[in-house]
Amino acid sequence: MSSGLKVLHVAETVRGGIATYLNELHPHQSASFGRGNVSYVVPSDHRDDLVSIEDDAITTFPRDGRNAMGLFAMLSATMRAVRQLRPDIIHLHSSFAGLVVRPMLWLTYRHSRIVYCPHGWAFGRETGRVSRAITQFTELALSKLTHRIVCISRSEQLDATRVGIATKRLVLVHNGISKQRPALNQESASASEKIWRSDKIKVLFIGRLDRQKGCDLLIKAARELGETLDVRIIGASVVSKFNMSDLPANVSLLGWMDRNQIEAQLDEADLVAIPSRWEAFGLVAIEAMRAAKPIIAFRIGALPEIVEDDVTGVLCDEVTPEKLIDGFQRASRLDLAAVGRAGYERFVRLYDIEQTHRTLGQVYADVLHMGENEAGQPANLQSDFSNNLRP
Protein backbone atom coordinates (compact mmCIF):
# COMPACT_ATOMS: atom_id res chain seq x y z
CA MET A 1 0.00 0.00 0.00
CA SER A 2 1.48 3.32 -1.04
CA SER A 3 1.92 6.23 1.33
CA GLY A 4 -0.45 9.18 1.26
CA LEU A 5 -3.63 7.16 1.83
CA LYS A 6 -5.96 8.96 4.24
CA VAL A 7 -7.88 6.78 6.69
CA LEU A 8 -10.48 7.96 9.20
CA HIS A 9 -11.49 5.53 11.95
CA VAL A 10 -14.85 6.21 13.63
CA ALA A 11 -16.14 4.57 16.83
CA GLU A 12 -19.06 5.30 19.12
CA THR A 13 -17.11 3.70 21.98
CA VAL A 14 -13.56 2.37 22.11
CA ARG A 15 -13.19 1.24 25.71
CA GLY A 16 -11.95 -2.35 25.80
CA GLY A 17 -11.22 -4.37 22.68
CA ILE A 18 -11.66 -1.63 20.06
CA ALA A 19 -9.11 0.58 21.85
CA THR A 20 -6.64 -2.32 21.86
CA TYR A 21 -7.33 -2.93 18.15
CA LEU A 22 -6.72 0.72 17.22
CA ASN A 23 -3.68 1.13 19.49
CA GLU A 24 -2.04 -1.94 17.99
CA LEU A 25 -2.86 -0.94 14.41
CA HIS A 26 -1.99 2.77 14.58
CA PRO A 27 1.84 2.64 14.40
CA HIS A 28 1.71 0.30 11.41
CA GLN A 29 -0.85 2.35 9.51
CA SER A 30 0.98 5.60 10.30
CA ALA A 31 4.25 4.14 9.04
CA SER A 32 2.62 2.85 5.83
CA PHE A 33 0.26 5.72 4.99
CA GLY A 34 2.20 8.66 6.43
CA ARG A 35 2.12 10.51 9.72
CA GLY A 36 -1.01 12.66 9.88
CA ASN A 37 -2.92 10.50 7.41
CA VAL A 38 -4.53 8.22 10.02
CA SER A 39 -7.22 9.95 12.09
CA TYR A 40 -9.91 9.05 14.62
CA VAL A 41 -13.37 10.11 15.81
CA VAL A 42 -13.97 8.86 19.36
CA PRO A 43 -15.95 9.94 22.46
CA SER A 44 -14.17 12.57 24.55
CA ASP A 45 -14.29 10.47 27.72
CA HIS A 46 -12.49 7.63 25.91
CA ARG A 47 -9.78 9.77 24.30
CA ASP A 48 -7.15 8.65 26.82
CA ASP A 49 -7.78 5.00 25.88
CA LEU A 50 -5.93 5.74 22.63
CA VAL A 51 -2.37 5.85 23.86
CA SER A 52 0.60 7.30 21.94
CA ILE A 53 -1.74 8.83 19.35
CA GLU A 54 -1.32 12.57 18.86
CA ASP A 55 -4.14 14.94 19.81
CA ASP A 56 -4.21 16.43 16.32
CA ALA A 57 -5.12 13.00 14.92
CA ILE A 58 -8.23 12.72 17.12
CA THR A 59 -11.62 14.41 16.84
CA THR A 60 -13.73 13.93 19.96
CA PHE A 61 -17.43 14.27 20.68
CA PRO A 62 -19.36 14.53 23.96
CA ARG A 63 -21.08 11.35 25.08
CA ASP A 64 -23.16 10.80 28.20
CA GLY A 65 -24.09 7.16 27.79
CA ARG A 66 -25.56 5.47 24.74
CA ASN A 67 -28.43 7.73 23.69
CA ALA A 68 -29.73 9.78 20.78
CA MET A 69 -27.76 12.88 21.76
CA GLY A 70 -24.51 10.95 21.90
CA LEU A 71 -25.14 9.34 18.50
CA PHE A 72 -25.98 12.73 16.97
CA ALA A 73 -22.77 14.17 18.44
CA MET A 74 -20.78 11.29 16.91
CA LEU A 75 -22.39 11.87 13.51
CA SER A 76 -21.72 15.63 13.66
CA ALA A 77 -18.08 15.08 14.64
CA THR A 78 -17.65 12.51 11.87
CA MET A 79 -19.06 14.76 9.16
CA ARG A 80 -16.88 17.64 10.42
CA ALA A 81 -13.79 15.41 10.23
CA VAL A 82 -14.78 14.14 6.77
CA ARG A 83 -15.14 17.67 5.41
CA GLN A 84 -11.83 18.72 6.92
CA LEU A 85 -9.72 15.63 6.14
CA ARG A 86 -11.38 14.28 2.96
CA PRO A 87 -10.32 10.71 3.75
CA ASP A 88 -9.95 8.00 1.12
CA ILE A 89 -11.17 5.32 3.55
CA ILE A 90 -13.72 5.75 6.34
CA HIS A 91 -13.35 2.75 8.63
CA LEU A 92 -16.35 2.37 10.96
CA HIS A 93 -16.09 0.31 14.13
CA SER A 94 -19.01 -1.41 15.86
CA SER A 95 -22.76 -1.39 15.31
CA PHE A 96 -23.76 2.12 16.36
CA ALA A 97 -21.14 3.83 14.21
CA GLY A 98 -22.21 1.64 11.31
CA LEU A 99 -25.90 2.34 11.89
CA VAL A 100 -25.67 6.13 12.15
CA VAL A 101 -22.80 7.04 9.84
CA ARG A 102 -23.27 4.80 6.79
CA PRO A 103 -26.59 6.24 5.55
CA MET A 104 -25.41 9.84 5.96
CA LEU A 105 -22.12 9.18 4.16
CA TRP A 106 -23.93 7.46 1.32
CA LEU A 107 -26.31 10.39 0.94
CA THR A 108 -23.82 13.24 1.27
CA TYR A 109 -20.24 12.11 0.64
CA ARG A 110 -19.52 9.51 -2.03
CA HIS A 111 -15.81 10.27 -2.43
CA SER A 112 -14.64 7.95 0.37
CA ARG A 113 -14.81 4.19 0.49
CA ILE A 114 -16.70 2.81 3.48
CA VAL A 115 -15.20 -0.11 5.39
CA TYR A 116 -17.20 -1.43 8.34
CA CYS A 117 -16.11 -3.75 11.14
CA PRO A 118 -18.98 -4.77 13.47
CA HIS A 119 -16.67 -6.22 16.14
CA GLY A 120 -19.51 -8.63 16.91
CA TRP A 121 -22.89 -8.52 15.20
CA ALA A 122 -25.70 -6.90 17.19
CA PHE A 123 -27.99 -9.76 16.09
CA GLY A 124 -25.56 -12.25 17.63
CA ARG A 125 -26.15 -10.85 21.10
CA GLU A 126 -28.55 -12.01 23.75
CA THR A 127 -31.75 -10.25 22.64
CA GLY A 128 -35.40 -11.06 21.96
CA ARG A 129 -36.62 -12.51 18.69
CA VAL A 130 -38.15 -9.25 17.42
CA SER A 131 -35.05 -7.21 18.29
CA ARG A 132 -32.84 -9.79 16.58
CA ALA A 133 -34.98 -9.72 13.44
CA ILE A 134 -34.83 -5.92 13.30
CA THR A 135 -31.04 -5.82 13.67
CA GLN A 136 -30.62 -8.55 11.05
CA PHE A 137 -32.78 -6.60 8.58
CA THR A 138 -30.93 -3.36 9.37
CA GLU A 139 -27.46 -4.86 8.91
CA LEU A 140 -28.56 -6.54 5.69
CA ALA A 141 -29.92 -3.26 4.30
CA LEU A 142 -26.90 -1.20 5.36
CA SER A 143 -24.48 -3.78 3.95
CA LYS A 144 -25.51 -2.52 0.51
CA LEU A 145 -24.10 0.91 1.46
CA THR A 146 -20.74 -0.59 2.42
CA HIS A 147 -17.79 -1.29 0.18
CA ARG A 148 -16.33 -3.94 2.49
CA ILE A 149 -17.35 -5.52 5.79
CA VAL A 150 -14.37 -6.72 7.81
CA CYS A 151 -15.13 -9.82 9.88
CA ILE A 152 -12.65 -10.47 12.67
CA SER A 153 -13.43 -14.20 12.94
CA ARG A 154 -14.76 -17.03 10.84
CA SER A 155 -17.70 -17.21 13.25
CA GLU A 156 -18.61 -13.57 12.53
CA GLN A 157 -18.32 -14.16 8.80
CA LEU A 158 -20.62 -17.20 8.90
CA ASP A 159 -23.20 -15.28 10.96
CA ALA A 160 -23.25 -12.59 8.26
CA THR A 161 -23.86 -15.04 5.42
CA ARG A 162 -26.66 -16.73 7.39
CA VAL A 163 -28.69 -13.51 7.44
CA GLY A 164 -28.17 -12.91 3.74
CA ILE A 165 -25.27 -10.45 3.62
CA ALA A 166 -23.51 -11.05 0.30
CA THR A 167 -20.27 -12.99 0.67
CA LYS A 168 -18.71 -10.72 -1.95
CA ARG A 169 -18.92 -7.83 0.52
CA LEU A 170 -17.27 -9.78 3.35
CA VAL A 171 -13.58 -10.24 4.05
CA LEU A 172 -11.91 -12.08 6.91
CA VAL A 173 -9.19 -10.13 8.74
CA HIS A 174 -8.30 -11.73 12.05
CA ASN A 175 -7.25 -9.57 14.96
CA GLY A 176 -3.63 -9.48 15.98
CA ILE A 177 -1.40 -7.79 18.52
CA SER A 178 2.30 -7.05 18.72
CA LYS A 179 4.52 -10.00 19.56
CA GLN A 180 6.35 -7.74 22.01
CA ARG A 181 4.66 -7.25 25.36
CA PRO A 182 4.85 -3.72 26.81
CA ALA A 183 7.93 -3.37 29.00
CA LEU A 184 6.95 -3.39 32.67
CA ASN A 185 8.05 -0.48 34.77
CA GLN A 186 9.25 -1.24 38.28
CA GLU A 187 6.29 0.52 39.89
CA SER A 188 3.75 -1.71 38.11
CA ALA A 189 5.69 -4.88 38.89
CA SER A 190 6.08 -4.01 42.57
CA ALA A 191 2.41 -3.10 42.96
CA SER A 192 1.36 -6.41 41.40
CA GLU A 193 3.49 -8.42 43.81
CA LYS A 194 2.01 -6.59 46.81
CA ILE A 195 -1.62 -7.17 45.91
CA TRP A 196 -1.44 -10.71 44.52
CA ARG A 197 -0.26 -13.31 47.00
CA SER A 198 -2.33 -16.47 47.27
CA ASP A 199 -2.01 -20.23 47.58
CA LYS A 200 -5.18 -20.61 45.50
CA ILE A 201 -5.43 -20.60 41.70
CA LYS A 202 -5.05 -16.94 40.74
CA VAL A 203 -7.71 -16.10 38.15
CA LEU A 204 -7.71 -12.81 36.21
CA PHE A 205 -10.65 -11.24 34.38
CA ILE A 206 -10.08 -8.24 32.07
CA GLY A 207 -12.91 -6.38 30.40
CA ARG A 208 -16.17 -4.49 30.61
CA LEU A 209 -18.40 -5.47 33.51
CA ASP A 210 -21.43 -5.72 31.23
CA ARG A 211 -23.73 -8.69 30.75
CA GLN A 212 -22.01 -9.72 27.51
CA LYS A 213 -18.71 -10.37 29.26
CA GLY A 214 -20.22 -12.73 31.84
CA CYS A 215 -18.46 -11.35 34.90
CA ASP A 216 -21.55 -12.25 36.95
CA LEU A 217 -21.10 -15.89 35.95
CA LEU A 218 -17.48 -15.78 37.07
CA ILE A 219 -18.48 -14.32 40.44
CA LYS A 220 -21.07 -17.06 40.98
CA ALA A 221 -18.46 -19.72 40.19
CA ALA A 222 -15.92 -18.03 42.45
CA ARG A 223 -18.41 -17.99 45.33
CA GLU A 224 -18.80 -21.78 45.03
CA LEU A 225 -15.04 -22.31 44.72
CA GLY A 226 -13.93 -20.05 47.55
CA GLU A 227 -11.33 -22.52 48.77
CA THR A 228 -9.88 -22.99 45.28
CA LEU A 229 -9.87 -19.64 43.45
CA ASP A 230 -8.55 -16.13 44.09
CA VAL A 231 -10.15 -13.88 41.47
CA ARG A 232 -9.04 -10.42 40.37
CA ILE A 233 -11.30 -8.32 38.11
CA ILE A 234 -9.89 -5.52 35.96
CA GLY A 235 -12.54 -3.29 34.39
CA ALA A 236 -15.75 -1.37 34.94
CA SER A 237 -19.23 -1.28 33.46
CA VAL A 238 -19.79 0.63 30.21
CA VAL A 239 -23.27 -0.29 28.98
CA SER A 240 -24.98 -1.59 32.13
CA LYS A 241 -24.56 -0.99 35.86
CA PHE A 242 -22.50 -3.50 37.84
CA ASN A 243 -23.50 -4.39 41.39
CA MET A 244 -20.37 -4.35 43.55
CA SER A 245 -22.12 -4.75 46.89
CA ASP A 246 -22.17 -8.54 47.04
CA LEU A 247 -18.71 -9.73 46.03
CA PRO A 248 -17.46 -12.89 47.75
CA ALA A 249 -14.31 -12.63 49.85
CA ASN A 250 -12.16 -14.29 47.16
CA VAL A 251 -13.04 -11.71 44.47
CA SER A 252 -11.36 -8.28 44.22
CA LEU A 253 -12.40 -5.49 41.87
CA LEU A 254 -9.44 -3.41 40.65
CA GLY A 255 -11.20 -1.03 38.21
CA TRP A 256 -9.66 0.03 34.89
CA MET A 257 -5.88 -0.22 34.66
CA ASP A 258 -3.33 0.96 32.14
CA ARG A 259 -1.51 -1.48 29.89
CA ASN A 260 1.55 -1.73 32.16
CA GLN A 261 -0.60 -2.55 35.16
CA ILE A 262 -2.58 -5.15 33.22
CA GLU A 263 0.60 -6.86 32.05
CA ALA A 264 1.88 -6.90 35.63
CA GLN A 265 -1.33 -8.60 36.76
CA LEU A 266 -1.04 -11.08 33.90
CA ASP A 267 2.46 -11.98 35.04
CA GLU A 268 1.13 -12.94 38.47
CA ALA A 269 -2.00 -14.80 37.29
CA ASP A 270 -2.29 -18.57 36.85
CA LEU A 271 -5.36 -18.51 34.60
CA VAL A 272 -7.31 -15.92 32.56
CA ALA A 273 -11.11 -16.18 32.59
CA ILE A 274 -13.15 -15.05 29.56
CA PRO A 275 -16.71 -16.06 30.55
CA SER A 276 -18.44 -14.09 27.75
CA ARG A 277 -22.01 -14.92 26.78
CA TRP A 278 -21.21 -13.86 23.19
CA GLU A 279 -17.89 -12.79 21.69
CA ALA A 280 -16.91 -11.83 18.14
CA PHE A 281 -13.23 -12.44 18.79
CA GLY A 282 -11.87 -11.82 22.27
CA LEU A 283 -8.63 -9.82 22.18
CA VAL A 284 -8.06 -10.62 25.86
CA ALA A 285 -7.55 -14.23 24.79
CA ILE A 286 -4.56 -13.45 22.59
CA GLU A 287 -3.19 -11.00 25.18
CA ALA A 288 -3.29 -13.88 27.67
CA MET A 289 -1.61 -16.24 25.21
CA ARG A 290 1.12 -13.67 24.55
CA ALA A 291 1.76 -13.67 28.31
CA ALA A 292 1.84 -17.51 28.28
CA LYS A 293 -1.30 -17.80 30.39
CA PRO A 294 -3.95 -20.52 29.93
CA ILE A 295 -7.57 -19.50 29.30
CA ILE A 296 -10.94 -20.68 30.55
CA ALA A 297 -13.90 -19.69 28.37
CA PHE A 298 -17.23 -20.84 27.02
CA ARG A 299 -17.44 -22.53 23.63
CA ILE A 300 -19.07 -19.54 21.90
CA GLY A 301 -18.33 -17.17 19.02
CA ALA A 302 -14.71 -17.08 17.93
CA LEU A 303 -13.25 -18.45 21.18
CA PRO A 304 -13.13 -22.07 19.91
CA GLU A 305 -11.10 -20.74 16.97
CA ILE A 306 -8.58 -19.25 19.41
CA VAL A 307 -8.48 -21.64 22.39
CA GLU A 308 -7.63 -25.33 21.98
CA ASP A 309 -9.47 -27.28 24.67
CA ASP A 310 -7.09 -29.04 27.09
CA VAL A 311 -4.12 -27.73 25.05
CA THR A 312 -4.06 -23.93 25.49
CA GLY A 313 -6.96 -23.70 27.92
CA VAL A 314 -10.35 -25.07 28.94
CA LEU A 315 -13.60 -24.61 26.97
CA CYS A 316 -16.95 -25.01 28.75
CA ASP A 317 -19.82 -26.28 26.61
CA GLU A 318 -22.75 -24.33 28.10
CA VAL A 319 -22.94 -20.72 29.28
CA THR A 320 -23.83 -21.43 32.90
CA PRO A 321 -22.08 -20.96 36.27
CA GLU A 322 -22.25 -24.74 36.78
CA LYS A 323 -20.32 -25.48 33.58
CA LEU A 324 -17.81 -22.79 34.52
CA ILE A 325 -17.32 -24.46 37.91
CA ASP A 326 -16.74 -27.78 36.12
CA GLY A 327 -14.22 -26.03 33.86
CA PHE A 328 -12.28 -24.61 36.81
CA GLN A 329 -12.19 -28.05 38.40
CA ARG A 330 -10.86 -29.50 35.16
CA ALA A 331 -8.29 -26.69 34.92
CA SER A 332 -7.08 -27.44 38.46
CA ARG A 333 -5.97 -30.86 37.26
CA LEU A 334 -3.89 -29.47 34.38
CA ASP A 335 -0.26 -28.33 34.37
CA LEU A 336 -1.26 -24.68 33.91
CA ALA A 337 2.28 -23.49 33.19
CA ALA A 338 2.64 -26.03 30.36
CA VAL A 339 -0.79 -25.11 28.97
CA GLY A 340 0.24 -21.44 29.03
CA ARG A 341 3.43 -22.21 27.10
CA ALA A 342 1.39 -24.03 24.44
CA GLY A 343 -0.84 -20.95 24.18
CA TYR A 344 2.18 -18.72 23.66
CA GLU A 345 3.42 -20.93 20.82
CA ARG A 346 0.00 -20.75 19.16
CA PHE A 347 -0.05 -16.96 19.57
CA VAL A 348 3.34 -16.53 17.90
CA ARG A 349 2.21 -18.68 14.99
CA LEU A 350 -1.18 -17.09 14.33
CA TYR A 351 -1.87 -13.68 15.89
CA ASP A 352 0.67 -11.14 14.67
CA ILE A 353 -0.56 -7.53 14.20
CA GLU A 354 1.69 -7.17 11.15
CA GLN A 355 -0.41 -9.79 9.36
CA THR A 356 -3.60 -7.95 10.38
CA HIS A 357 -2.16 -4.69 9.02
CA ARG A 358 -1.06 -6.24 5.73
CA THR A 359 -4.43 -7.88 5.08
CA LEU A 360 -6.36 -4.76 6.05
CA GLY A 361 -4.14 -2.73 3.73
CA GLN A 362 -5.12 -5.09 0.92
CA VAL A 363 -8.79 -4.47 1.74
CA TYR A 364 -8.23 -0.71 1.44
CA ALA A 365 -6.38 -1.14 -1.85
CA ASP A 366 -9.12 -3.38 -3.22
CA VAL A 367 -11.95 -0.95 -2.53
CA LEU A 368 -9.98 2.06 -3.79
CA HIS A 369 -9.58 0.42 -7.19
CA MET A 370 -13.30 -0.26 -7.60
CA GLY A 371 -15.42 1.63 -10.03
CA GLU A 372 -18.54 3.27 -8.58
CA ASN A 373 -20.67 0.33 -9.72
CA GLU A 374 -18.30 -2.32 -8.43
CA ALA A 375 -18.90 -1.93 -4.70
CA GLY A 376 -20.28 -5.41 -4.47
CA GLN A 377 -17.55 -7.24 -6.40
CA PRO A 378 -15.56 -9.87 -4.53
CA ALA A 379 -12.40 -8.94 -2.72
CA ASN A 380 -9.55 -10.90 -4.28
CA LEU A 381 -7.97 -11.65 -0.96
CA GLN A 382 -8.44 -13.65 2.15
CA SER A 383 -6.43 -13.92 5.27
CA ASP A 384 -4.27 -17.06 5.00
CA PHE A 385 -5.17 -17.67 8.64
CA SER A 386 -7.21 -20.78 7.86
CA ASN A 387 -4.14 -22.44 6.39
CA ASN A 388 -2.32 -21.90 9.68
CA LEU A 389 -5.01 -23.18 12.02
CA ARG A 390 -3.53 -26.64 12.29
CA PRO A 391 -1.87 -26.89 15.70
Residues 162-215: tens digit of each pLDDT: 999 999 999 999 889 999 888 766 565 555 545 688 899 999 999 988 888 999
Check: CB of residue 382 under 8 Å from CB of residue 171.
Answer: yes
Number of compact structural domains in the chain: 2
In terms of residue numbers, what domain contains 95? 7-178+352-388
Establish if 265 belongs to a structural domain: yes
16 with 161, same domain: the answer is yes
User: Half-sphere exposure of 374 toward its Cβ, with a 13 Å CA cutoff?
Assistant: 10
- The DSSP bridge partners found for residue 316 are 298
Distance from C-alpha of 252 to C-alpha of 259, rounded to nearest angstrom: 19
pLDDT, tens digit, for every residue of 343-352? 999 999 889 8
Rounded to an integer, what distance in angstroms lies between the CA atom of residue 143 and that of residue 149?
8
How deeply is 84 buried, as exposed, middle or buried, from its count of CB atoms within 10 A (0-12, 13-18, 19+)?
Answer: exposed
State the Cα angle at 88 between 82 and 90, rounded to 5°: 60
Give the dihedral sign, CA 37/41/45/50: negative
Same domain, 346 and 361: no
Do the domain assignments include residue 1? no
| Nearest residue to 94 via CA among 363, 281, 357 | 281
Whether 39 is covered by a domain: the verdict is yes
Does residue 386 have a pLDDT over 90? no
- Asked if 165 and 283 sit in the same domain, the reply is no
What is d(CA 344, CA 262) in angstroms, rounded to the nearest whole number?
A: 17
- Clarify whether residues 39 and 171 are in a common domain: yes
Residues 170 and 290 in one domain: no
- pTM recorded for the entire structure: 0.79
Q: Classify 355 as helix, strand or coil.
A: helix
Q: Rounded CA gap, 101 and 92, in Å?
A: 8
Beta strands in the chain, from DSSP E residues, in sequence order: 7-11, 38-43, 58-61, 89-93, 113-117, 148-151, 170-172, 201-206, 229-234, 251-255, 271-274, 295-298, 313-316
pLDDT tens figures, 44-103: 999 999 988 999 999 999 988 788 999 999 999 999 999 999 999 999 999 999 999 999
Residue 148, beta-bridge partner list = 115
Single-letter residue type at 75? L
Residues 202 and 69 in one domain: no
Q: 28-53 as b/e, with b when 16 or more CB fall inside 10 Å?
A: bbbebbeeebbbbbbbeebeebbeeb
Using alpha carbons, select from 86, 176, 105 the residue that is nearest to residue 147: 105
Q: Are residues 131 and 280 in the same domain?
A: no
Q: What is the mean pLDDT of residues 356-380?
A: 75
Residue 76 sits in a domain whose CATH number is: 3.40.50.2000
